[in-house]
Amino acid sequence: MAAASAHAQELNLTLSPGFMPDPMQRSYVSGGGQEANGIFGSDMRGVACSGSISQTPDHVMTLTSGFDFLKVWTQSGADTTLIIDGPGRFLLCDDDGGEGLNELIEHSGWVPGDYRIYVGSYGGGVHNYDLFVSELPGSSAPGNASLPDTSEERHLAISPGFSPDPWRVSFVSGGAQSASNQFGTDMRGNSCQGNIATTPDHEMTLVNAFSYLQLWTQADGDTTLIIDGPGKFLLCDDDGGSGLNEHIEHTNWPAGEYRIYVGSYSEDYLNYQLSISELSSTGPNR
């Protein structure tokens, strides 16, 4: 209960056309003691509302202006459902309209107001999920979104044998600083690329030295990766992973503080997922 209360202020969304980042993401836990079908019946398209939901909405989405188009979808490792209860007679429900057992609702003509969003569990129980909202018809979640984040914390302290492995977290790339101007080339001679934030996106504390670590990204655009460590330790990558994603592997990581920047190759702000592993058998191409 304490964890849910601490996270409550991050569950709701207030959106105007042109909002950033797009897609907007929220994470929470599905399910509850109420049956969506008994409360809502069918939506305004005649689609049955299903799943076990909580008494109160999981998210309140406030639209300060009207939207010509919005899409809302979920990513979860379990069977969830989605209900959006809006102003007037606005009601949209979905079960398995997205990828696999995930939900997808697309609709035009969203009026200003408050929309109550419920994410249900189809067979009961509670399940972790990610909710995404976009006004771009072609948008999608980060490329590795089928793998849920293992942490809501952007910073970590690890020792050999850490769990979960891989450690995964999502955030937004980009910023006003040029990585090339700030760092130049890394200790392998690779040029550091992209626009990065003035402060690191993640801080990784290695409590003990690691003989091997790898870090990789999955993003919805062209990102870059910079790892600034103790002494002269500096590693940079652009497109070393799958597609336009990054992948850095290295041996002999000394104990200490590592500042991790995920940049945008252009001036965009992009959603990404960062993964960290000490297992050479994992990774984006394995």
What count of residues does the chain have? 286
Task: Provide the H-helix boundaries in the chain.
Answer: 2-7, 36-40, 179-183
Residue 74's pLDDT is 93
Q: Which residues of the chain have pLDDT under 50?
A: 1-9, 143-146
Cα 152 to the chain's mean position, in Å? 10
How confident is the model over 225-262, as pLDDT tens digits? 999 999 999 999 999 988 888 999 999 999 999 999 99
Closest CA to 141 of 130, 153, 150, 152: 130
Helix (H, G, I), strand (E, B) or coil at 7: helix
Helix (H, G, I), strand (E, B) or coil at 84: strand
Closest CA to 112 of 44, 61, 40: 61
Closest CA to 215 of 180, 270, 181, 169: 169
Q: What angle do CA 225, 226, 230 make, to 5 degrees?
A: 150
Whole-angstrom CA distances from 124 to 42, 52, 127, 219 are: 20, 6, 9, 32
d(CA 209, CA 225) in angstroms, rounded, equals 21
H or E element at residue 212: strand 210-219
Whether omega for the bond prior to residue 254 falls within 30 degrees of 0, making it cis, is no
